[in-house]
Amino acid sequence: MAGAKNHDYHILPPSIWPIFGAFSALVLAMGGVMWMNTDFFGASGSWVFGIGVLLMAITFYSWWADVVSEAQAGDHTPVVQLHLRYGMILFIASEVMFFVGWFWAWFDFSLFPQPLEFVDGITTNMIGQEGADALVQWPPKGVEVLSAFELPLLNTLILLCSGTTITWAHHSLIHGNRKGLITGLWLTIILAIIFSCIQAYEYSVAPFPFAGLNYSSAFYMATGFHGFHVIVGTIFLIVCLARAYKGHFTPQQHFGFEAAAWYWHFVDVIWFFLFIVVYVWGGWGAPVH
């Protein structure tokens, strides 16, 4: 027949979710700007931001539900799966560069502190050499850091263990062991939740505020965005667990799980660098809280 499919590609049907997602992102961005300018917009910004978050959640759920349906319908041929892998690799590469920015800021603040000649309008002659040295040391004088070998080390071990459990689940899937797949996913999700809870507790007892210091701002932005990625990865794994119970994954076709595993290993590696750079090296020699 003239309209018969004679290729391995998947021609997508028309979808409302790209334009819906763009509108949702616009509402979310506008809400964020309004929320940060309460003097002008009042309390309406938080409501607009909340609506944007809701619309984005609807977009994510609906769009990815369509992708899952396409996979179950057999539209994800080997050629399509290869291109999906390329897309996931590029996405993780962009995430790597995102964190490179925070590491760059951390190294810039720590290796190149403010010049001694001028610090917040105060010259070295006015405060003396000793006072100037105190202002430019890293971490700043008077800041107590979190011990790298207590909760951060524990979280490092937890994430490393979660990397082994997700790998176990992956190998179980490849060998057709559904029980091992589900068990490995459950263990990974539990470890992820424990990690997030410990991170939240660490923030609650941290001795320095978010604003006012390069050290604290860089610390919270780097570790906080990693925590956000852990939460996203946990949701990713929960979706995979639900799909595993439904029998969606087979040894031959399981890109959804594979992408989640790649993402989780990326989260593991980023945390390992954060632990070394921010907690161990970044707090070396400073008083411990």
- Number of domains observed in the structure of the chain: 2
- Asked if residue 155 and residue 65 are part of one domain, the reply reads no
- Asked if residue 22 and residue 106 are part of one domain, the reply reads no
- Asked if residue 269 and residue 238 are part of one domain, the reply reads yes
- Asked if residue 258 and residue 169 are part of one domain, the reply reads yes
Which domain-ending residue is among 74, 101, 121?
A: 74
- Asked if residue 170 and residue 30 are part of one domain, the reply reads no
| Residue 95 domain-assigned (yes or no) | yes
pLDDT at 120 over 50: no
- Asked if residue 93 and residue 70 are part of one domain, the reply reads no
| Residue 123 domain-assigned (yes or no) | no
* Residue at 201: amino acid letter: Y
Look at strands 118-119 and 122-123 and give their pairing.
Answer: antiparallel
**Helix 214-245 and helix 255-274: axis angle, to 10°?**
160
| Residue 288 domain-assigned (yes or no) | no
| Residue 213 domain-assigned (yes or no) | yes
CA 279 to each of CA 49, 71, 107, 216: distance values in angstroms, whole numbers, following the listed order: 33, 42, 13, 12
| Residue 122 domain-assigned (yes or no) | no
Q: Mean of the pLDDT values across residues 77-86?
A: 90
CATH of the domain at 20: 1.10.287
> Where in the sequence is the domain holding 20, given as residue range(s)?
14-74
Q: How confident is the model at residue 5 (pLDDT cuts 50, 70, 90)?
A: low
- Asked if residue 147 and residue 157 are part of one domain, the reply reads yes
Residues 6+ apart with CB under 8 A from 194: 158
Q: How confident is the model at residue 3 (pLDDT cuts 50, 70, 90)?
A: low
What is the spatial distance between Cα 233 and Cα 261, in angstroms, rounded to a whole number?
Answer: 9
- Asked if residue 160 and residue 70 are part of one domain, the reply reads no
| Residue 100 domain-assigned (yes or no) | yes
pLDDT at 74 over 90: no
Which domain-ending residue is among 22, 50, 74?
A: 74
- Asked if residue 160 and residue 226 are part of one domain, the reply reads yes
pLDDT at 43 over 90: no
Q: Pick the residue with more confidence: 87 or 137?
A: 87
| Residue 274 domain-assigned (yes or no) | yes
Among 6-20, 41-55, 56-70, 111-125, name the one with the lowest average pLDDT: 111-125
- Asked if residue 97 and residue 60 are part of one domain, the reply reads no
CATH of the domain at 96: 1.20.120.80
* DSSP per-residue letters across the chain: -TT---SS---PPP-SHHHHHHHHHHHHHHHHHHHT-HHHHTTHHHHHHHHHHHHHHHHHHHHHHHHHHHHHTT---HHHHHHHHHHHHHHHHHHHHHHHHHHHHHHHHHHSPPPTTEETTEEHHHHHHHHHHHHHSSSPTTPPBPPTTTHHHHHHHHHHHHHHHHHHHHHHHHTT-HHHHHHHHHHHHHHHHHHHHHHHHHHHH-SS-SSS-HHHHHHHHHHHHHHHHHHHHHHHHHHHHHHHHTT---SS--HHHHHHHHHHHHHHHHHHHHIIIIIIITTTTSPB-
Tell me the percentage of the chain whose pLDDT exceeds 70.
90
- Asked if residue 80 and residue 18 are part of one domain, the reply reads no
Q: Mean of the pLDDT values across residues 20-43?
A: 93
- Asked if residue 239 and residue 209 are part of one domain, the reply reads yes
| Residue 134 domain-assigned (yes or no) | no
Q: Pick the residue with more confidence: 129 or 183?
A: 183
